[in-house]
Amino acid sequence: HAKGSGRNQFQFFSEELNRTTHERLEIEAAIDDALEKNEFEVYYQPQLNLATGKIESCEALIRWNHAKKGLLAPGEFISVAEESGHIDAIGRWVLRRVAADFAEFSAAGFSNMRLAVNVSSPQMRVIDFAAFVAAVVAEHKIPAGCLELEVTESMLMSDTEQAIATISSLTAQGVRFSIDDFGTGYSSLSYLRSLKIHHLKIDRSFVADVISDPDDATIVRAIISLAHSLRLTAIAEGVESEQQLQFLKDEGCDMVQGYLLARPMPLADCIQFAKSYGKGA
Ligand code: C2E
Ligand code: MG
Ligand code: MG
Ligand code: MG
């Protein structure tokens, strides 16, 4: 980009940069306020178990009901929160919220619903992270296996020792781990030997063109096969079409998640949605 840029283009870029910096500062300043005013909300996106045809797990995805800007997706504030250090407070809020919401699933008859929470690198680096998670699980009496944490390959590569210690301590207590966006990060795969991971989540960029691009189809098959060889389950993210779903069924993918089934939605809607598939195991 920079090479061919004339003067006008440079100005354009620097204005963009300023605006972005200003917006980031604005968001940063508003986060504490938002936590206090309870403006964050957790949406849930159901995951379909292809073997049972039931909804046995859901991914928790944060939203921000911003007083002026409306409903904000994580793309608009999570990276700012990570850089400013606010992610720790947000992450703790999300985990408590999800733990409390588990009781709602349970009361609706889904006493084994697995709830998956995204965790980013700076959260895992906080020294008492494992202890905090364990305390929340105990306080809310979440059964072993019902809380899952989604981490990325990049996190495992950059914080290796600490990440291994944290994950090992939590898996020993029954918390499950998924590798999110699998296939997109820098990875040596060696962590798959040393860590007790449960699921590989096939990144939606591979799923998107699985019908039209033979290379993407090969990658998706390879990830499913890798997962099964290691006795892990494969979850496909971003499933938007019947053809993609059929491909994934044919290839033995274990679970699917995506707009074809349902978008992320408020807790009560997700419970209703899960009911429409019948009670799980
Ligand atoms: P992710 O964990 O990979 O979550 C999947 C994202 O894909 C979600 O975006 C979801 O709404 C979207 N998605 C699901 N199905 C489809 C589909 O069929 N098509 C398309 N195009 N997209 C689909 P969302 O909710 O905007 O979240 C974005 C990212 O923000 C998440 O990616 C996750 O990395 C992060 N995030 C979300 N909630 C939290 C949180 O509570 N804490 C932290 N640390 N990160 C979070
Ligand atoms: Mg995720
Ligand atoms: Mg993902
Ligand atoms: Mg992600």
Q: Which residue has the least CA distance to atom 11 on ligand 1?
A: 264
Beta bridge partners of 40: 64
Query: Measured in angstroms, how far is the CA atom of residue 150 from the centroid of ligand 3?
Result: 8
Q: Which residue has the least CA distance to atom 2 on ligand 1?
A: 118
Looking at residue 58, what is its pLDDT?
A: 98
Question: How far is residue 90 from each of residues 76, 129, 142, 229, measured CA to CA in Å?
Answer: 14, 13, 20, 36
For 17-31, the pLDDT digits (tens) are 565 788 888 888 889
Q: Which residue has the least CA distance to atom 30 on ligand 1?
A: 74
250 vs 94: CA distance, rounded Å: 36
197 vs 171: CA distance, rounded Å: 8
- Asked whether residue 5 carries a pLDDT value surpassing 90, the answer given is no
Q: pTM score, two decimals?
A: 0.93
3-state secondary structure of 63: strand
Enumerate the H helices of the chain as residue ranges. 7-36, 78-84, 87-107, 121-125, 129-139, 153-158, 160-172, 191-194, 204-208, 214-229, 242-250, 267-275
Tell me the average pLDDT across 163-172. 92
3-state secondary structure of 8: helix
- Asked whether residue 146 carries a pLDDT value surpassing 60, the answer given is yes
ipTM for the predicted complex? 0.98
For 34-58, the pLDDT digits (tens) are 999 999 999 999 999 999 999 999 9
Burial class from Cβ neighbours inside 10 Å (0-12, 13-18, 19+) for residue 263 reads exposed
DSSP string for residues in 94-114? HHHHHHHHHHHHHHTT-TT-E
Q: What is the dihedral of CA 100, 101, 107, 112, to 10 degrees?
A: -100
Which ligand is closest to the CA of 61, given by its number? 1
Lowest mean pLDDT among 31-45, 62-76, 151-165, 176-190: 151-165
Query: Measured in angstroms, how far is the CA atom of residue 118 from the centroid of ligand 2?
Result: 5
